[in-house]
Structure 1
């Protein structure tokens, strides 16, 4: 049978090789293949005095013929005219009943069968139904990868009519194109949206974190707001008018200044990942920083809008001016009791370390909620309202919650857990760093410690031998007001390196004024989102001989 195939395959090979030599821009674009699959010698010869070599060559020829036959099929398909669709036709296919079509560039895809298979869930893909993928791929840059494009090709049904305006490219529709420049020292965890932390060695160089290296946590593109036209809308209580405040209006309220530490709920998430994979940015120890903030007290602004404490529970809901392509804004909420309490010192801040807020940190106005997780400090604040329930924002109800280590994404019930507000006691070592080689003699260990809810850090314990023995670190002398200890404490320990040790396992743990202490290991506090990671911080270093 192989002998019968010999002549047709050779003829097919010759035809395919001629096709390869035919100049066709479309064919080359659509049918480019790995160079390793291209024939290096288009006319192989056989030796009559070696049957073994003949059979080997025949096998090679058959395989090559199959590759080139497939190549011939792809090229012929590429040369056929694609079916054309108008944007109006595409937009009408936006539900399971009509079929779900999307576009990318000038190409049209029917992804109806793929919706339920989408790794991010059907709802995310449905946002693009009947329209272009570019705005969403720009927002979630992980999609713009070769393997994703390859997966998409199987769903192609045609192309957009060239007489229609072609969808914008990724570059022109990039919602992140106007993001501000960032300091090169920042350790980037994601570019789109931008999230980054200062390196440990800079984090505790000073009590106040300089603006350029203050950690950045963005959920969406950074809006570019005009301070002259900016307005903050504050919904009025029943019987009171709502407020529409310009920056100048906010300046008329008494200016209040406080020093506050902000910490992301995911700080030190990378340590949870070492136990078991979690969803979220791989923050190390730098998703925390401290600044001196100034602005109007939220309680005074709410009072002017007629709000006061009531017998029923209520929440103050914040909405930012940052939004995704659907117009969905970032939002969060805090209890009204905290917002109206002058002692809680919640700010509508417009200054950070004596300067107008940088764009990455909420210019022109953001919320600062001392002692509370960073997710509630809404940036680019556009609206404040008092509601009977907490914010319906995804980031309030479907994120930033802690769960039992046994809960996974198949069993999680976000409604069963409260939203994170105050954070637990925390500390970390910033010097030396893991893997460093230190000199024998004395070692200096530095770090930070902080606790949520205004609880003061009263002690930091440090061990150089993996927890067998402990020494109390020296705390900085910054004021810690009772129940209003909004900012961290920097600490250090100088101690002799134990004689004969070739390596040290350095550990720190903090204690607050309620005698809360950090748990010793990560595993018992592991959770699927990797939040509230506050186990003893451990650093392994080598000792120079």
Structure 2
């Protein structure tokens, strides 16, 4: 299961608290096990919680298991003694008796050569031990495990409980960390038997007997560009990305770490707010809508992995994670209530905290599916920070993929902090200990391939970025004068000499064509987006149609302007949280010869790239590279390339965006 520690209770010194379905006695932390990312340490150390009835089971090796039959603590007598202490003997007696009735195994079933000292269980037996059972069981492949003692020791215990009574196969497939040998060794500690052969086909349960955790996921627009199906991750399609300032809800990019929680009655959804002193207050969705003043914020959300594919391609190094193109960003109008107002109503001394008189340092968020993250307390307290608890998107209730019925919105920050399906908010002295806070969303230098996750802070505000999302080619046309000058070489003495770099044959052909000697290119309309975190406005977008030789400024579209009388601006919020759309029109110079043979070929062009350009020319095409870069109001600018900002996770890929444009050779001269 995922490395999750979403419990958001107040932690005493020397203790670490994880979510669990019932009360356990906290034990002191052990060594460096406070760091959630140390997965092996966390699982192999004594559990951070101990059940009040019995200690964790000892590890059984293969040698001892062959000498030891089914553990007495899992027999009916053990169950009777355990449950009798709770006064429920008559209700649960015999609950843990292994099924020893004769089997109706298929006559052609292969011989069962698994450990004969361990009992066999029908899947119907396993289903009795679901999350409501006092001793939950799961299956993995053909084995049965009693995970009662594992739940408090595993930081993803609440997710394991979702699989209780069935198979964990589908859940473990979500998280690659479980594909490690030491994790299987840990799981093997809780082995109690095997799935009966009568429920196996080719040694495994039938797929239809394994619960699909994604069975309740909603339908999606087929135009979304799917990166992964389960869990669903999908980009806004390129042609729709900046077609409108507000991204249509159905086309807003989807980033899910797990399944979409099913909510049958949103009116019964409850948000729990916990303060530093451990006091809590609950709010229904209706409470939030009726007790607090509503607020709107127009904001873009962007995944930290947006443009990761661009980094992988141009840094010529592998990056770990979904290879997003430029579509893991979208813009919407969000409506909800201010987090600060809710905290104040719950008893948090808001004005005192704004004056700096508070021990609070973070606000933690947790969602229904166990995702958890946190932000520093500052943005939550800032009246201009616009941190919301959101229940509507683009004028309608939140869709399931985007947090229905309630989510956090932390504008200007990485979207990973805007936790969806929100059910808990905690004011805390420490940040969230979840995997997504402690490990996934961090950044390291290009020399670091085996990072120490504790050495870097979690990503919060986003850096500046931009992208080209549309290029439309028009007619052939003469190049403008400033572009023609770039065809002239500069001599060492600094004097510009108008030297034609074309070969003698090409010059002769051009002269014979008369007016064709004038450099020509294709008219083009180029468009895209720019965005900077922290609410910093974009003040300039620079575009190059010739791979950086010349630059010009794009037109910034004033999407926040009021369009008519009695109309409101589509932009809401105290800062520039939305993206900035831009457009540019010009003439793309297309070389007469393949760039691989040109004297001005850039040194960073690889042999592979040159061979591709030569092939394009042989196919009767001319190609050019378009660039875009942006600057924000703090004069932050994008780096030129990826060599200096490459990182193994491929986070925050914000170098100049490059798009290769190819055109058929001009077939008819004007």
TM-score, normalization by structure 1 = 0.71
For the residue of structure 2 that corresponds to 1:342, the secondary structure is: coil
The correspondence for 2:173, drawn from 132, 140, 144, is 140
The correspondence for 2:293, drawn from 254, 257, 262, is 254
Cα pair 1:427 1:448 within 8 Å, conserved: yes
Equivalent positions of 1:76-91 (< 5 A) are 78-79=110-111, 85-86=118-119
Equivalent positions of 1:166-245 (< 5 A) are 170-171=207-208, 172-225=210-263, 226-238=265-277, 242-245=280-283
Cα pair 1:295 1:350 within 8 Å, conserved: yes
Please tell me whether residue 349 in structure 1 is matched to residue 382 in structure 2. Answer: no
Root-mean-square deviation over aligned CA pairs: 3.7
Aligned to 1:161: 196
Cα pair 1:349 1:366 within 8 Å, conserved: yes
Aligned to 1:485: 576
| d(CA) in 1 for partners of 2:531, 2:335 | 21
Please tell me whether residue 332 in structure 1 is matched to residue 373 in structure 2. Answer: yes
Please tell me whether residue 391 in structure 1 is matched to residue 432 in structure 2. Answer: yes
Q: Give per-residue Cα distances to partners, 1:143-166, cap 9 Å, x unaligned.
A: 8xxxx9xx9xxx999952358999
| d(CA) in 1 for partners of 2:297, 2:164 | 47
TM-superposed CA distance for 1:137, in Å, is 2.9
Equivalent positions of 1:27-106 (< 5 A) are 78-79=110-111, 85-86=118-119, 103-104=139-140
Please tell me whether residue 317 in structure 1 is matched to residue 364 in structure 2. Answer: yes
Cα pair 1:369 1:376 within 8 Å, conserved: yes
Choose 485-494 or 271-280, whichever is displaced more. 271-280
Equivalent positions of 1:281-430 (< 5 A) are 281-307=322-348, 308=350, 309=353, 310-312=357-359, 314-322=361-369, 329-409=370-450, 412-430=451-469
Please tell me whether residue 528 in structure 1 is matched to residue 575 in structure 2. Answer: no
Q: Aligned in 2, Cα 1:237/1:133: closer, same or farther, shift over 3 Å?
A: closer
| d(CA) in 2 for partners of 1:230, 1:123 | 24
| d(CA) in 2 for partners of 1:506, 1:500 | 14
State the structure with bigger RCO (CA 8 A, min sep 6), 1 or 2: 2
Choose 202-211 or 313-322, whichever is displaced more. 313-322
TM-superposed CA distance for 1:543, in Å, is 2.1
TM-superposed CA distance for 1:77, in Å, is 12
Q: Give per-residue Cα distances to partners, 1:318-365, cap 9 Å, x unaligned.
A: 00001xxxxxx1101111121021210111010000000000000000
| d(CA) in 2 for partners of 1:175, 1:205 | 35
Aligned to 1:538: 658
| d(CA) in 1 for partners of 2:235, 2:389 | 24
Q: Aligned in 2, Cα 1:349/1:507: closer, same or farther, shift over 3 Å?
A: same
Cα pair 2:362 2:374 within 8 Å, conserved: yes
For the residue of structure 2 that corresponds to 1:265, the secondary structure is: coil
For the residue of structure 1 that corresponds to 2:379, the secondary structure is: helix
| d(CA) in 2 for partners of 1:428, 1:86 | 60
Q: Aligned in 2, Cα 1:405/1:354: closer, same or farther, shift over 3 Å?
A: same
Cα pair 2:297 2:572 within 8 Å, conserved: no
Cα pair 1:135 1:170 within 8 Å, conserved: no
Please tell me whether residue 496 in structure 1 is matched to residue 587 in structure 2. Answer: yes
Cα pair 2:274 2:426 within 8 Å, conserved: yes
The correspondence for 2:320, drawn from 254, 279, 300, is 279
TM-superposed CA distance for 1:457, in Å, is 0.3
For the residue of structure 1 that corresponds to 2:640, the secondary structure is: coil
TM-superposed CA distance for 1:78, in Å, is 4.8
Aligned to 1:452: 533
Cα pair 2:312 2:319 within 8 Å, conserved: yes
Question: Unaligned regions of 5+ residues in structure 1, if any?
Answer: 1-75, 92-100, 111-121, 323-328
TM-superposed CA distance for 1:442, in Å, is 1.4
Q: Give per-residue Cα distances to partners, 1:390-417, cap 9 Å, x unaligned.
A: 01111001110000111113xx111110
Choose 398-407 or 439-448, whichever is displaced more. 439-448
Cα pair 2:253 2:327 within 8 Å, conserved: yes
Q: Aligned in 2, Cα 1:343/1:87: closer, same or farther, shift over 3 Å?
A: farther
TM-score, normalization by structure 2 = 0.58
Q: Aligned in 2, Cα 1:245/1:168: closer, same or farther, shift over 3 Å?
A: farther
Q: Aligned in 2, Cα 1:157/1:217: closer, same or farther, shift over 3 Å?
A: same
TM-superposed CA distance for 1:170, in Å, is 4.2
Aligned to 1:41: none
| d(CA) in 1 for partners of 2:590, 2:120 | 76
For the residue of structure 1 that corresponds to 2:368, the secondary structure is: strand
Q: Aligned in 2, Cα 1:499/1:135: closer, same or farther, shift over 3 Å?
A: closer
The correspondence for 1:509, drawn from 624, 629, 644, is 629
For the residue of structure 2 that corresponds to 1:525, the secondary structure is: coil
TM-superposed CA distance for 1:86, in Å, is 3.1
Cα pair 1:139 1:176 within 8 Å, conserved: no
| d(CA) in 2 for partners of 1:272, 1:505 | 16
For the residue of structure 1 that corresponds to 2:168, the secondary structure is: helix
Q: Aligned in 2, Cα 1:157/1:395: closer, same or farther, shift over 3 Å?
A: closer
Cα pair 1:431 1:446 within 8 Å, conserved: yes
The number of equivalent residue pairs is 428
